[in-house]
Amino acid sequence: MDHVISGVAKFQKDVFPAKEAAFKKLANGQSPEVLFITCSDSRIDPSLVTQTEPGDLFICRNAGNVVPPHSNQTGGMTASIEFAVAALGVTHIVVCGHSDCGAMKGALNPEGLTSLPHVKEWLGHCRVASEVVKERCGCDELNAGDHLQLVTEENVVQQLQHLRTHPSVAAKIATGQVKLHGWFYNIETAEVLTYDEASGKFEPMDTPSTNKEQLVANK
């Protein structure tokens, strides 16, 4: 904890003065362009990976970068998505999964989550991903070693589908005001793959075929 506290002092002494004008502007409001939904995993730093500044990203984090389908039951993710889209006016939404995801390991082995009932229930939102991969692979059972990335990527695709059930998101997609993006981030290599709905595959962000980055079709 000491390095965290000393980090605050360093921020106040060295970092803040160099960006004081920007922070004074941010003190009166925000207008982020991107809603960035990713995992709570401590190894993921959205601002570091995207090299963005305070005020650029409206970040929502939870175990497994889950977007629960819209319902009449209010939850933190539902409220945050609605606020980002309807109040802040974000124009892009990124759902970013990552390598070695503990939540996805849990989704692959829900029987091992008996002592974590809330985690087990939460990861029920990821069940579709494991079932889709199981069907595609023709497997009765999946294991983390062979199927973790496939399930992680499919989970991103399914959470994008869940986003489309949220009224505020659906309305903006219908009018072309919001675009959806699916990403997979490899912690070890820094590679970021983007989902191409036309091919149904995740492709490197920096290849010509992605045209800077693949945008998810908003149909």
**Mean per-residue pLDDT of the chain:** 92
CATH class of residue range 31-210: alpha beta
Q: Rounded CA gap, 52 and 56, in Å?
A: 6
Radius of gyration of the chain (CA): 18
pLDDT beneath 70: ranges in the chain: 207-219
Q: Report DSSP letters for 79-147, one per residue.
A: HHHHIIIIIS---EEEEEEETT-HHHHHHH-GGGGTT-HHHHHHGGGGHHHHHHHHHHHT-SS--HHHH
pLDDT of 139: 82
Cβ–Cβ < 8 Å for 119, 63: yes
Report CA 111 to chain centroid distance, whole Å. 25
Kindly report, residue by residue over 18-75, the tens digit of the pLDDT.
Answer: 999 999 999 999 999 999 999 999 999 999 999 999 999 999 999 999 999 999 888 9
Q: What is the pLDDT of residue 142?
A: 84
pLDDT of residue 217: 46
φ, ψ (nearest 5 deg) of residue 203: -125, 155
Rounded-to-integer distance, Cα 218 and Cα 148, Å: 27
- pLDDT value at position 212? 43
Domain boundaries, the chain: 1-29, 31-210
